[in-house]
Each structure stands twice: as structure tokens, then as C-alpha cells.
Chain A
Amino acid sequence: MDSSTLVSVSDGWVRTTTLTDTATLDPLHDEPTPPRFRRRGRITMWVSGAWLLFIVFSAVGASFLPYVNHSCDQFENEDLCTTHVETNPLLAERPPSWALFSETSRPVVGDAPERFGLFGTDTNGYDLFSRTMFGARNSLLIGALSISFGILIGGMLGLVAGYMGKRVDKIIDTIMNILLAFPALLLAIFIVGFFDSSTTTEAESRSIVPIVIALVILSIPPIARLVRANTIVFAQREFVLAARSLGAKNSRIIMREILPNVMPAMVTFAITGMAILIVAEGALAYLGLSVTAPTPTWGAMIFGGQTKLETAWWISIMPSIILFVTVLAINLLGDALSEKFRIREAIG
């Protein structure tokens, strides 16, 4: 039997290593199935890549693209629009222009311009589509920053633990165990709450810094574990032995010999990890603990629309959809990449 699946139990993160290519043999039927994953995989990869490109493009260039900060921007007499919003905020929620099935059109007061957008508008009259795209900026920034620092710190710890072994490995492993013992979200909440320096329970404004710190701490243990496991494999290879016998320093061996080999696994994990962290930020926001209103994130937008679900479902559903599609795209891309790397490893 040339297949084996090993699972490491102790970490709390289940790690499976499958050593066979699973897709090709159908055991209960005699003829092998054709490798049909190839084509479909490529198409989904392109589609998800295109979607991510669009989101990243929107996030980076939201200020320059024709996204409106406020739905009233599209009308000449902005005052008219905003006054009505101020006097009767309920009138601001407009369903998406295509959502004819929604219980629509409360009459707009006076001669205020009709407000609507691709995704409708929210309680403040903001155009939801634009706001979602501006929200992408924060969500992606938080996700990217935290996974970068997480990879940096966790990767370093994993490399050192995996290469040095013995005592160092044990110490780092224990620290990771301790970090994992705290319930993940509660740890994040505590860290974010900790940085609220005011005495009141709700801070006036919250920057992304504590959120990033919280997410970095959450992401360190799994990354360290993954990198450690990969490092152990490479630390026993001949080229490392060769480098050592040539008198290379430990730091050089780690950085020049092992790191490049561990890189593919790290990159793949970084991609999926980013999706997880974007979702985690949303969860924090859902619990009322993310950046505050003027700078929306997707999570905060979803949370903001919760109370309006009955009358204006689009306020939280629209960002939900965007978030879902983005996470799905990232996951699909990560999956495709890991397949690719596994195949390459199997050959080389």
C-alpha cells in the first residue's frame, strides 16, 4: 500500500499529509477515471483570480474609480439630498435598483432625488456598492497586514524550532500550546478591548492596529506548526548536511537552504490564512469590536445592517455576498496552488 495518511493530534490543528494522488483511481470500477480535474481547476482558478484582481483593484483605487463615497454625490444639488437624510433617515434606505421583488419605494420626500445604486443604499444614504468597495480596502489591508506579520513571526519560530530541534523546539512548542489553549476569538477580543484606553466600554475610534495585533497573535501558532513540520523534513536532507559540513552558520542554513524550500508551503498557507483572517476580522466586527463607522470593513457593514434585516435586507446581505465570494475565491486559489505544489513536490 503506497498511501498513508498521518494526522498529528497534539496541536489542535489537524494536519493531514496524504501521500497519494487521489483523483485518478476509482477503486470499485476497473477502468481508471480520466483526470478531469485539470480543466475545471484551471477555469475556476482564472475566475477566482479575476475576481480577486477586481477586488484588489477596487480596494487600492477606490478613491480614483467612479465609486461614490455618498450616493448623493451623483446629483448636482447635494444639500437637498443630505438634508432629507438628516431629517428622516428612514427614507435613505433604498433597495438595489434591480431588486424589484423587494418591498420598495417609500416615497421620497419632496423633490429629493431618487436614491439608488447597484446594491441600494444604507441607513445613512450611502451607496452600498461604493461603500463595499471602500470596505474592501480595510478588510484586505487588515487581512494582508496580519498574515504578513503572522508569516514573519510564525515562520521564524517554525524555522528555528524545526531546525534546532530538542530544547528550543520544546520551548516554542509549549508557547504555541499555551497560545492555542486560549479560545481564539476571546483572545482577540481581549487584545482589542485591551487597547481601548478609554474608561468607557465603547471607544470613540478604533484604529486597525489592535485588530491587526490580535489577528497576528491568532495566526502565529498554526503557521509556526506548519513551517516547523516542513522544516524538519528538509533539515534532514543532504544539502543541509553538505552546507553544515562546509561550515555554514545556522542562520545561513536556515535562510539560504531551508527557507526557499519551505516557501511554497508558506505561500499557499498564507493565501488560505488571509481568507481566514478576513473572516476573523468580520467576526470581531460582528461582535462590535472592529474599526468604527467612518471607515467600514465588510464585517462592520454586515454587523451594521443586522438590525435592519426586516426592512432593508440588502444592507447586510450585499457585503455578505461580496465577502463570501472573495473568501471563496481566495480558498479556491489556495487549493489550486497547493495542488500545484504537491504535484511539483511529487515529481521533483
Chain B
Amino acid sequence: MKYFLRKLGQLVIVVFAVTFTVSLALGAIPYAEERIIAAKGSGAINEEEKNKLLDSLNLREPTLVQYGYFVGDLVTLDWGVTLNGNQPISSSISDGLKISLRLMIYGQLVALLLAIPAAVFAAYRSGGLFDRFSTTFSFGFISTPNYVLATVLGLLLTVRWKLFPAISTDVGFFEAPWDHFTNFFLPTIVLALPLAGTYMRLLRSDLINTLQSDFITTARAKGVSTPRILFGHALRPSLFSLVTAAAVNVGALVGGSVVVETAFNLNGLGRRTVLGIFASEFRLVQITVVVLALVYVMTNFLVDILYGFLDPRVRVGRLG
């Protein structure tokens, strides 16, 4: 319980600091007012409208008052509309979140599907041909920047062989399953391969450790078949760091797939933020960053709590 409260306290502090910084940041941006007005479409706007606009964003209030308004708007979900398109910010964010979540889930699934069998087999014949092969490859994947991967795959699969559309469009799975597949295949692969490399290395080294322990020898002595030993006995106790990494990535990937989203022109949450920064859509950016930070912090919090339950060592002591 004490552990839970401590983590909750940390969570509250971090959320407060994030919202405060984000709120403050607007005031620190050079020429914020001019940029906002430029984004609104400078020619058509007169002095009165300008003042109204700036007042509605509380830009001229003192910092603390600004923060108050910001949090108030956040909590009451009164997020306003974007400067140019008059699209409600909330709908823009939910659209982006949909794409980002989809990418994250696909990427994680593919990464895990690639990594787990590869790691198990590599650990089983550690030092063997497959182990060497897969370790080298996973190292290669980890060392490949995702934009390089996107460029190379894009060149080969879309430009040369025209297998996939160069620009992915967000097609729902139930509307057109095949189009959905072709549109999300490349982004998923680009996202998944480096992840798979990391996961494989983590799981492989843990598995090798587990396979040395006594209960595996016992199982072997009892005549349990090798696949059963590997998947039934050895895998579960070795999953700890893999699950941790995957869980942490759930939060990190929602906002962290900016490059992939940009490469394939998917309007995910990250890309919307980047475009928002370029287009001086500060309010959209502020709220998106808060949402992303919340997703990240909440997943980490949940992971912490879960592990507190699963493994008492985490709850009691510091593992440093």
C-alpha cells in the first residue's frame, strides 16, 4: 500500500510538472502572438478580432492564471478548435490516437511474434548456427535507424516493385481488410523490426540463464519433450524483462512513432504534433503533449503497480 501511494504521489507530481511546463512553454515561445495570428490567416483579421483571439487563449494573463485556465480547460474537456481548419482539437486528437494506437499494437504484435520464437530457438541451440545468424540480424535491426529502414523498404517495395502504396491511408480493417493490410504493412514492419531485435536479445539472454537452472535439468530427467521444456517450463520465468520492455514501449510508442508516421504519411498523434509545431497550432500541440505524457506516465504507473504485485522484490527494495 505504501508502495502504491508512493508511486501515486510520483505520478501526481509528474503530471503537475508536465502540465505546468506545457502551459508555461507557450509564454516562452518567441513571437507566439504573431505566429498565432499568422496561422489564423493574417490578412483577413482586424485588430478587434486579433484581441479577441488572443484573449480567448489567455495569452495576456499572468502565468499562474494561464495555468489555471489551461488545467480548467483540460479537465472540462473544453479543448477548443484548431486555428486554421476549425476542426475541434478533441476530434483531431482522437483521430490521431486511433492511428497511433493501431500502429503501436501492430508493431508490438509483429515484434513479439518474430522475437519470441527466434529467441527460444536461439537460446536452445545457443552458439549454434541459428543463434549466430539471429543474433547478428537482431544487432543489425537495432542499429538500423527507422528512417533508413523506411527509405530502403520504401524504395524496394513501393517504388521498384510497387507492392505497397507509398503513402499509407488510414483504411479501417472492417471496411476493406486487404487495403488495410497493404496500407499498414510497411509502417508496421518498420516499427517492428528494431523492436524485435531488442526483444530478441533480452529474451535470449534471460532464457539462456533460465535453461541453466536445476528445474530444467529435472524436467529433462523426467523425459519432458524439448518443445515442452522450452515453451512450457523455461519461457515463463524468462519473460520478466521482455514484458517490462514491451509494456514500457506501449506508452513510449504512442508518441514515439513520429518518424514512421511521417515516412508513410499517416496522421498519427506524433505527426499531428510535429505539423502543429510547424503550423503554430500551439494549443493543439500543448494538449497533445499532455495526452501523450499522460499515456506514457499511466502505462509506466500500471507496470510499476503490476510488478509490485508480481514480484515483491520490486515493491520492497530499490533495485539499483
- With A186-B274, A232-B320 known as contacts, the answer to whether A14 contacts B151 (CB < 8 A) is no
Chain A 153-197: CB-based contact to B (< 8 A → 1; otherwise 0) = 000000000100000000000100110111111100110011011
Q: How many A-B residue pairs have CB under 8 A?
A: 204
The 8 Å CB contact of B274, one of A14, A174, A189, is A189
CB distance from B26 to the nearest CB of A (A): 11
Residue pair B296, A12 in contact (C-beta under 8 Å): yes
Residue pair B211, A27 in contact (C-beta under 8 Å): yes
Which of these binds chain B: A237-245, A248-256, A327-335? A327-335
Alpha-carbon distance between A194 and B22 when the two chains are bound, in angstroms: 13
A309 at the interface (CB under 8 A from B): yes
- Restricting to B194-228, which residues have a CB under 8 Å from any CB of A? 202, 205-206, 208-209, 211-214, 216-217, 220, 226
Please, which residue of chain B has its CB at the minimum distance from the CB of A192? Answer: B277
Please, which residue of chain B has its CB at the minimum distance from the CB of A311? Answer: B159
Alpha-carbon distance between A81 and B300 when the two chains are bound, in angstroms: 58
Residue pair A20, B277 in contact (C-beta under 8 Å): no
Chain A 15-37: CB-based contact to B (< 8 A → 1; otherwise 0) = 01010101101111000010010
Please name all residues of chain A whose beta carbon is closer than 8 Å to the beta carbon of B285 when the two chains form the complex: 190
B168 at the interface (CB under 8 A from A): no
Please name all residues of chain B whose beta carbon is closer than 8 Å to the beta carbon of A335 when the two chains form the complex: 139
Alpha-carbon distance between A232 and B318 when the two chains are bound, in angstroms: 10
Residue pair A183, B255 in contact (C-beta under 8 Å): yes
Which of these binds chain A: B101-109, B173-181, B241-249? B241-249
The 8 Å CB contact of A193, one of B241, B277, B307, is B277
Alpha-carbon distance between A143 and B142 when the two chains are bound, in angstroms: 18
Please name all residues of chain A whose beta carbon is closer than 8 Å to the beta carbon of B240 when the two chains form the complex: 5, 7
Residue pair A185, B209 in contact (C-beta under 8 Å): no
The 8 Å CB contact of B159, one of A6, A190, A232, A309, is A309
B14 at the interface (CB under 8 A from A): yes
A51 at the interface (CB under 8 A from B): no
Please name all residues of chain B whose beta carbon is closer than 8 Å to the beta carbon of A196 when the two chains form the complex: 30
CB distance from A48 to the nearest CB of B (A): 11
Please name all residues of chain B whose beta carbon is closer than 8 Å to the beta carbon of A131 when the two chains form the complex: none
The 8 Å CB contact of A23, one of B126, B140, B144, B304, is B126
Alpha-carbon distance between A182 and B19 when the two chains are bound, in angstroms: 10
Please, which residue of chain B has its CB at the minimum distance from the CB of A197? Answer: B30
CB distance from A158 to the nearest CB of B (A): 10
- With A9-B303, A27-B211 known as contacts, the answer to whether A182 contacts B216 (CB < 8 A) is no
- Restricting to B253-300, which residues have a CB under 8 Å from any CB of A? 255-256, 258-259, 262-263, 270, 273-274, 277-280, 285, 289, 292-293, 296-297, 300
CB distance from A265 to the nearest CB of B (A): 13
The 8 Å CB contact of B297, one of A36, A181, A303, is A181
Residue pair B278, A201 in contact (C-beta under 8 Å): yes
Residue pair A33, B300 in contact (C-beta under 8 Å): no
Residue pair B126, A33 in contact (C-beta under 8 Å): yes
Please, which residue of chain B has its CB at the minimum distance from the CB of A32? Answer: B127
- With A3-B212, A33-B126 known as contacts, the answer to whether A316 contacts B151 (CB < 8 A) is yes
Residue pair B147, A283 in contact (C-beta under 8 Å): yes
Please name all residues of chain B whose beta carbon is closer than 8 Å to the beta carbon of A302 when the two chains form the complex: 147-148, 151
Chain B 147-167: CB-based contact to A (< 8 A → 1; otherwise 0) = 110011011000100000000
Alpha-carbon distance between A303 and B297 when the two chains are bound, in angstroms: 32
A346 at the interface (CB under 8 A from B): no
A228 at the interface (CB under 8 A from B): yes
A287 at the interface (CB under 8 A from B): yes
Residue pair B205, A320 in contact (C-beta under 8 Å): no
The 8 Å CB contact of A323, one of B148, B277, B303, is B148
Residue pair B255, A327 in contact (C-beta under 8 Å): no
Please name all residues of chain A whose beta carbon is closer than 8 Å to the beta carbon of B300 when the two chains form the complex: 9-10, 12
Alpha-carbon distance between A282 and B150 when the two chains are bound, in angstroms: 13
- With A16-B202, A22-B208, A201-B278 known as contacts, the answer to whether A331 contacts B297 (CB < 8 A) is no
CB distance from B274 to the nearest CB of A (A): 6
B1 at the interface (CB under 8 A from A): no
Residue pair B159, A279 in contact (C-beta under 8 Å): no
Please name all residues of chain A whose beta carbon is closer than 8 Å to the beta carbon of B10 when the two chains form the complex: 174, 177
CB distance from B128 to the nearest CB of A (A): 9
The 8 Å CB contact of A178, one of B17, B213, B214, is B17
Residue pair B155, A287 in contact (C-beta under 8 Å): no
Residue pair A185, B270 in contact (C-beta under 8 Å): yes
Residue pair B289, A286 in contact (C-beta under 8 Å): no
A324 at the interface (CB under 8 A from B): yes
Residue pair A14, B126 in contact (C-beta under 8 Å): no
Residue pair B154, A309 in contact (C-beta under 8 Å): yes
Please name all residues of chain A whose beta carbon is closer than 8 Å to the beta carbon of B126 when the two chains form the complex: 22-23, 26, 33
A313 at the interface (CB under 8 A from B): yes
Residue pair B18, A182 in contact (C-beta under 8 Å): yes
Alpha-carbon distance between A27 and B220 when the two chains are bound, in angstroms: 10
Alpha-carbon distance between A20 and B159 when the two chains are bound, in angstroms: 48
A317 at the interface (CB under 8 A from B): yes
Residue pair B319, A28 in contact (C-beta under 8 Å): no
Residues of A within 8 A of B (CB): 1, 3, 5-10, 12, 14, 16, 18, 20, 22-23, 25-28, 33, 36, 162, 174, 177-178, 180-186, 189-190, 193-194, 196-199, 201, 228-229, 232-233, 275, 279, 282-283, 286-288, 299, 302-303, 306, 309-310, 313, 316-317, 320, 323-324, 327-328, 331-332, 335
Q: A12-B251, A182-B289 are in contact. List 15 more A-B contacts (CB 8 A).
A: A7-B319, A9-B244, A9-B304, A14-B245, A26-B125, A36-B127, A177-B14, A180-B296, A186-B270, A193-B277, A193-B278, A197-B30, A228-B320, A229-B320, A232-B318
